[in-house]
Amino acid sequence: MRGLFTLKIMKTKLCFATNNAHKLEEIQAILGNSFELISLAETGCKEELPETGNTLEANSLQKAQYLYDHSQVNCFADDSGLEVYALGGEPGVDSAHYAGPQRSHADNVNLLLKNLADKIDRSAQFRTVITLIQDGEINQFEGSIKGQIIDELKGSKGFGYDPVFVPDGYETTFAEMSLEEKGKISHRARAFAKLVKFLG
> Residue 105: helix, strand or coil by DSSP?
helix
Output the pTM of the full model: 0.85
Q: Is 79 a catalytic residue?
A: yes
Q: Which residue ranges form the domains of the chain, and what is each CATH number?
A: 12-199 (3.90.950.10)
| Active-site option among 69, 79, 94, 168 | 79
Distance CA 68, CA 71 (A): 5
Tens-digit pLDDT profile for residues 95-126: 999 999 999 999 999 999 999 999 999 999 99
- The per-residue pLDDT of the chain, averaged, comes to 88
